[in-house]
Amino acid sequence: MPDKDAGTPRVFIARHGETEWTKSGQYTGITELELTPTGETQVLNSGRVLVGAGKLIDPARIARVYVSPRKRAQKTCELLFSSSSSIDSDKVSTTERLAEWGYGEYEGMVTSQIRALRKEHGLDNERPWDIWQDGCEGGESAQQVTDRLDDLIKEIQSFHVNHMHGESGPADIVLVAHGHLLRAFVKRWLGYPMEFPLSLMLEPGGIGVLSYQHHNVGEPALFAGMAFPTPPSN
């Protein structure tokens, strides 16, 4: 971080690596899928470059790792920290608040199939289906996802409020979860409603960074770009 932001705690968002359904575009909520070999490589490469002593995600600066209960996220967490200093197990917790959006009847479908099904159900006569506004039949609404993410954000920010200048030990947070869920988290972190048209991209195995402006817990922010630290020489 530049000097003026040094010590400000960060939240790293890590999407799980590729699965067969991320390749096909099928909506994957509760279905348990393994990472593909490519997916494992994606995560390992992210860990090798970004995780370790003196790197962007330094285990010594991590206070807590929150992980979705789905096994693709659990495996991603394991691989992400496998090429660096290990993370203390007591810092890692599994939480349903990071489970992927509950897709209900749309589980395993692609967008075109979902829109066709909703048309059969007499829905969306005014505009095409948009998950951010319409949620999922038999699954979660945007408000339900908002509620569980807001609960997690409140927990994180209640911890961060006493660490805004790097005081009192490790303060960085890592979230390991899913594509829709993490994009929803960013919207809520910035205070936007789910329907706000904020287009975000996060590749499988990718890492995003959130923090605060002006060392102020009331000014959560998204890093649009940042300089990477220089790791210590061996």
Say which residues have a Cβ less than 8 Å from residue 93's Cβ, sequence separation at least 6. 64, 65, 66, 67
Q: How confident is the model at residue 29, as a pLDDT?
A: 97
Catalytic residues: 16, 100
CA separation for the pair 182, 56 (Å, rounded):
19
- The residue ranges of the chain whose pLDDT is under 70 are 1-3, 83-85, 228-234
Q: What is the DSSP letter of 28?
A: -
- 62-67 and 220-222 beta bridge pairing: unpaired
Annotated binding-site positions: 28-29, 72, 100-103
- As assigned by CATH, the class of the 11-222 domain is alpha beta
pTM for this structure? Answer: 0.94
* pLDDT tens sequence across 54-84: 899 999 999 999 999 999 999 999 999 986 6
- Give the domain ranges of the chain: 11-222
State the CB neighbour count (10 A cutoff) for residue 158.
10
Annotated binding-site positions for substrate: 28-29, 72, 100-103
Here the tokens at position 53 are 């002593």
